[in-house]
Amino acid sequence: GAGVSQSPRYKVAKRGQDVALRCDPISGHVSLFWYQQALGQGPEFLTYFQNEAQLDKSGLPSDRFFAERPEGSVSTLKIQRTQQEDSAVYLCAGGSSYNEQFFGPGTRLTVL
């Protein structure tokens, strides 16, 4: 596809459930970023990959959050034992550097 795609677009989870969010970046973009956007806030950095290497995971809020990009293309953000405070839009972005990142539409996660 021409842009970054994310699936599912919407996810409702019961508290304590595990979820997996998928990101398909633009072909050729070696850098991939995950952000969390809470209601009324700007996106907040979670983690960064260059190809398959996770170079920065300083923004992951807890050890319940885990991201991978095993083949340097598709990435998955996994949240274990979801909590209500995990409810947010999760954005994936790709690019050639940290600057000028191209964002996907996001996955809206609601934890009940």
Partner 1 sequence: DQQVKQNSPSLSVQEGRISILNCDYTNSMFDYFLWYKKYPAEGPTFLISISSIKDKNEDGRFTVFLNKSAKHLSLHIVPSQPGDSAVYFCAASVGNEKLTFGTGTRLTIIP
Q: Which amino acid is at 41?
A: Q
Q: Could you tell me which stretch among 52-60, 61-69, 70-78, 79-87 binds partner 1 (CB under 8 A)? A: 52-60
What minimum distance in Å lies between the beta carbon of 31 and partner 1?
9
Phi, psi of 101 (to 5 degrees): -80, 145
Q: Could you tell me which stretch among 14-22, 61-69, 74-82, 101-109 binds partner 1 (CB under 8 A)? A: 101-109
Q: How far apart are alpha carbons 17 and 19 in whole angstroms?
A: 7
Does 4 help bind partner 1 (rule: CB under 8 A)?
Answer: yes
Residue of 40, 14, 111, 20 lying closest to 6 (CA atoms) = 20
In the complex with partner 1, the residue whose CB is nearer, 41 or 110, is 41
